Amino acid sequence: MLSNRQLLILQVIIDEFIQTAQPIGSRAISKKQEVTYSPATIRNEMADLEEMGYIEKTHSSSGRVPSEKGYRFYVDHLLLPFHLSSADKKIISNVFNEDLVEFEHVVQNSAKVLSDLTNYTSIILGPKVFETTLKQLQIIHLSSNTAVAILVTNTGHVEHRSFTIPAEIRASDLEKLINILNEKLSDVPIIQLQERLQKELASILDKYVSDVDTAIQYLKGALFEQQPANLYIGGITNIMLQPEFNDITKVHSLYSVMEKEDVIANVLRSYQDGIHVAIGQENKVHEMQECSLITATYSLAGEQVGTVALLGPKRMEYSRVISLLNLLSTQMTNTFHRWI
Amino acid sequence: MLSNRQLLILQVIIDEFIQTAQPIGSRAISKKQEVTYSPATIRNEMADLEEMGYIEKTHSSSGRVPSEKGYRFYVDHLLLPFHLSSADKKIISNVFNEDLVEFEHVVQNSAKVLSDLTNYTSIILGPKVFETTLKQLQIIHLSSNTAVAILVTNTGHVEHRSFTIPAEIRASDLEKLINILNEKLSDVPIIQLQERLQKELASILDKYVSDVDTAIQYLKGALFEQQPANLYIGGITNIMLQPEFNDITKVHSLYSVMEKEDVIANVLRSYQDGIHVAIGQENKVHEMQECSLITATYSLAGEQVGTVALLGPKRMEYSRVISLLNLLSTQMTNTFHRWI
DNA sequence: AATTAGCACTCGTTAGATAAGAGTGCTAAC
DNA sequence: GTTAGCACTCTTATCTAACGAGTGCTAATT
């Protein structure tokens, strides 16, 4: 469909625009080493490329700018394998060489490193606690009527909730309840906990514990209400360095949506296995339609548990970013695998 | 020093500027109900106020704008007691009527409510874990050589760290260690934990546990390294709504410093008991010198444990904000007191 | 037949000029 | 002591002209 010359010109336009954020003119293209044609020839090809929708003008006599279709084609067909510098590789692997190993910790550091390396904004969706299994459940009394419930998973993740113990539940009953639960529910996937609590265990517990319904109700309330989204955002200010975001209203609308952790978490969750690139309007969240979002998933025991993403202008360094995400998600998967 | 008329005019200028963000002219002041003088008279007084440094011109024939000295005088001498609307009061007290009581939870909600009510950015420094006491210490094994250490305080705060257990420590020793620690260290202030661990307990533990040094070393590493700052920021995008921040570079520099949690935490910690107002250059952090920061502290058992703050333009609604902070910090203190 | 040089044309950007308007300082009158 | 009046200053908005980067088209060249 596209001639080799058109491919070359499209590639040059996008590469150049990614660097400069300025419309590219025929003269500038002609001057590039790999291009051997005169500006006039290039103008003809550019007119064709524009007709096909791969590039656009900002006004009638301006140079050309990639369209979203252009970026899409570039990402799908023109991406050259990018060789990460050994410095970059080292910085990333350093994240995984720390001694105190913990999901949250690794994830947070990864977010920071990723945003520092790219000057984009990194978003990491932490492991879904639901897909891990229960290691231990504990209730620790703070005073006569308050306590904190702690849930530890096999991945070292800790969830906790404080709650007030209603007068009608006896402390000894709560103790018994927890003992039984630990015995019965150890290594059960978190996602099944609620169901198991209700269905299988109610009858058993009934024998030992009085007023089991209320107790379970409170336990559920304590443990499952308001699961936090587990989202880490790094380098959020980087977006303001991009020339396409020197308009405060654009930054404001983007930042407002970034504050809504549940919205962002849902966006990331909607991308499964592998690397995904959403360019501009391809993003469903309206406020992100001036941006590109690149996501990669990481896994634990073969099960995909989280997402690493980078948010930047449509004019992103796709090649480098994809390589970085690839490396990082692989390393995360490897590291977490070792822990089980 | 200042005549009543000058006080009145200064008050009107600042009140008006806080609302409009526009320089105030003599004509506008004269039109105010409470002012009975002609523009010419007011111009004379304004010239005097300017000479004394309370107000400034933006250019030679502009209206006047409060100087930082003016704001300082306003805050110190002209602040009228502000009557919060009952709606505001209700919104705040609702934060404390939730059932699931927990420091983090209350603090986070407070930050959100505060920024929503004011349209400024709220910053809350969570309770210093050091000033609370240990309730329980736990080690939960994840696998043969990894575990998570959990520390619960009397305030329902939970700290946790994952760590790898070195080969030279026996699991049974770790168990014994924890048992002894729980027995001996219950209700000890967290801040003293490290010291007590090292000095008083080493000898006792020595009898029961082999290679106690290594074990303690690892425990300390797991518990005390990298204490997170415990900082909650709400409504960070609100700053962009202020006309003085429609320059992207200003927003960027401010946001960059807001990302450095340790810097912000130190700033807040530097203000003790009561309400403090830092206006513009009075802020030590350079990036905040276009802003005003108002802080209030809250206490637990008579001990000040955290700080609530609002960051906005110098042109802040000081009166309302101070009332809100007062109410909120009092409520926090009361609520937390009840929990002990 | 493909490529390129040449040229008229378009449009955004910048600089300067002008006018309007808001506000001041000062003087003289009240 | 207060105020009306007026000349003056400075900002802002609008307009115009010149400039330049880049295009599209045509005709010449390879």
Q: Which of A102, A226, A251 has the CB atom closest to B161's CB atom?
A: A102
Three-state DSSP string of A119-166: CCEEEEECCCHHHCEEEEEEEEECCCCEEEEEEEECCCCEEEEEEECC
Whether the per-residue pLDDT at A340 is higher than 60: the answer is no
Residue A232 burial (10 A CB sphere; 0-12, 13-18, 19+): buried
Of B178, B149, B151, give the one whose Cα is nearest residue A156. Answer: B149
Evaluate if residue A43 carries a pLDDT over 90: yes
DSSP A270: T
Residues whose CB falls within 8 Å of the CB of residue B182, separated by 6 or more in sequence, listed in order: B136, B137
Domain B4-78 is found in CATH 1.10.10.10? yes
Question: What percentage of residues in chain A have a pLDDT greater than 90?
Answer: 57
pLDDT tens digits, A168-207: 777 777 787 788 888 888 888 776 777 777 776 666 666 6
Q: Which nucleotide is nearest to A25 (CA to C1')?
A: D22
Residue A222 scores a pLDDT above 60: no
Burial (CB count <10 Å: 0-12, 13-18, 19+), residue A36: exposed
Question: What stretches of chain B adopt beta strand conformation (E)?
Answer: 55-57, 64-66, 121-125, 134-141, 146-153, 158-164, 231-234, 276-279, 291-300, 303-313
Give strand pairing partners of B123.
B233, B309
Count of Cβ atoms closer than 10 Å to residue B100 Cβ: 15
Helix ranges (H only) for chain A are: 4-20, 26-31, 39-51, 68-73, 86-95, 103-118, 171-185, 190-198, 201-208, 212-224, 248-259, 261-269, 318-338
Instruction: Specify the amino acid at residue A48.
Output: D
Query: C-alpha distances in angstroms, A89 versus A83, A323, A326, B172?
Result: 10, 10, 11, 40
- Which pLDDT value is given to residue B215? 61
Residue A153, CB, strand D, below 7 Å: no
B222/A104 Cα distance (integer angstroms): 14
A143 lies within 8 A of chain B by CB: yes
The torsion angle over the Cα atoms of residues A104, A107, A108 and A113, rounded to 10 degrees, is 160
Give CATH superfamily name and number for B86-128+230-338.
GAF domain (3.30.450.40)
Provide the pairing of β-strand B134-141 with B146-153.
Answer: antiparallel
Distance B156 CA to C10 C1' (A): 70
CA dihedral A15→A16→A22→A27, nearest 10 degrees, is: -130
| Alpha carbon distance B231, B211 (integer Å) | 38
Contact A146 B339 (CB under 8 A): yes
Nucleotides of D under 7 A from a protein CB: 2-5, 8-11, 20-26
Nucleotide nearest to A36 (CA to C1'): C3
- Give the start-end residues of each E strand in B131-230: 134-141, 146-153, 158-164
Q: How far apart are CA B254 and CA B285, in angstroms?
A: 10
- Best of A119, A162, A165 to disrupt the B interface by mutation (most B CBs within 10 Å)? A162
Strand C near-CB residues (< 7 Å), B 71-90? none
Full DSSP string of B101-130: --HHHHHHHHHHHHHHHHSSEEEEEPPPGG
B175 touches chain A (CB under 8 A): no
Which chain B residue lies closest to A241 (C-alpha atoms)? B252
* CA–CA dist A133, A239 (Å, integer): 37
Residue A223's pLDDT is 59
Both tokens assigned to A69: 């279709």
Q: Which residues of B240-273 are buried (b: 16+ CB within 10 A; e: fewer)?
A: bebeebeebebbbbbbebbbeeeebbebbeebee
Q: What is the pLDDT of residue A311?
A: 98
The per-residue pLDDT string of chain B (340 residues; one tens digit each, 9 = 90 and over) reads 899 999 999 999 999 999 999 999 999 999 999 999 999 999 999 999 999 999 999 999 999 999 999 999 999 999 988 999 999 999 999 988 876 556 777 888 999 999 999 999 999 998 766 567 788 888 888 877 788 888 887 777 787 877 777 777 777 777 877 888 888 888 887 767 777 777 766 666 666 655 656 666 666 665 555 555 689 999 999 999 999 998 899 999 999 999 999 999 999 999 988 999 999 999 999 999 999 999 999 987 677 888 999 999 999 999 999 999 999 999 988 887 776 5
User: Of the candidates B182, B180, B173, B183, which has an alpha carbon nearest to the alpha carbon of residue B210?
Assistant: B173
Strand C lies under 7 A from the Cβ of residue B61: yes
Q: Is A45 helix (H, G, I), strand (E, B) or coil?
A: helix
Measured in angstroms, what separates residue A36's CA from nucleotide D30's C1'? 15
Q: Nearest Cα to B12, choosing from B61, B1, B39?
A: B39
Answer yes or no: are the C-beta atoms of A155 and B142 closer than 8 Å: yes
Query: Could you tell me if A173 and A211 are in contact, meaning their C-beta atoms sit under 8 angstroms apart?
Result: yes
Whole-number Å distance between alpha carbons of B222 and B240 = 40
Q: Give Cα separations from A18 to A22, A281, B238 (angstroms).
A: 9, 18, 31
**Nearest 5°: phi and psi at A66?**
-65, 140
Nearest to B265 by CA among B223, B232, B236: B232
pLDDT over 70 at A167, yes or no: yes
Q: Residue B122: CB partners within 8 Å, gap ≥ 6? A: B110, B111, B112, B114, B115, B232, B233, B234, B235, B308, B309, B310, B311
Q: Is B86-128+230-338 the same fold as B4-78?
A: no
CA angle A182, B165, A188 (to 5 degrees): 25
Average pLDDT, chain A: 87
Closest residue in A to B242 (Cα) is A248
| Alpha-carbon separation of residue B263 from B15, B221, B270, B285, B294 (angstroms) | 32, 24, 11, 8, 16
CATH number, span A131-224? 3.30.390.60
Listed in sequence order, the residues at least 6 apart from B76 whose beta carbon sits closer than 8 Å to its beta carbon are none
Query: Can you read off the two tokens belonging to residue A28?
Result: 């500038």
Rounded CA separation B249/B254 (Å): 9
Residue B292 near residue B314 (C-beta atoms within 8 A) = yes
* SS3 at position B134: strand
In a mutational test of the B interface, the residue from A132, A159, A187, A237 whose CB has the highest number of chain B CBs within 10 Å is A237
Cβ contact B13:B24 at 8 Å: yes
Segments making up each domain of chain A, as ranges: 4-78, 86-128+230-338, 131-224
For residue B143, list chain A residues with Cβ-Cβ distance below 8 A.
154, 339-340
Q: Which CATH class is domain B130-224?
A: alpha beta
pLDDT at B86: 96
Q: Does residue B186 belong to the interface with chain A, where contact is any CB pair within 8 Å?
A: no
pLDDT digits (tens, 9 = 90+) for A287-306: 999 999 999 999 876 778 88
**Does A164 contact chain B (CB < 8 Å)?**
yes
Q: Are B339 and B101 in contact (CB under 8 A)?
A: yes
Nearest to A32 by CA among A53, A1, A4, A11: A11
- Going by C-alpha positions, the residue among B289, B315, B241 that lies closest to residue B66 is B315
Beta bridge partners of B122: B234, B310
B117 touches B91 (CB < 8 A) = yes
Q: A74-89 pLDDT, tens per residue?
A: 999 999 889 999 999 9
Enter the DSSP assignment of B86.
H
Tokens representing residue B251 in the block: 């927003």
- Tell the residue number behind the tokens 């008006």, with chain if given: B16
Distance of CA B219 to the CA centre of its chain: 31
Cβ burial, residue B82 (10 Å; 0-12/13-18/19+) = middle
Is it the case that residue A100 has pLDDT exceeding 60? Answer: no
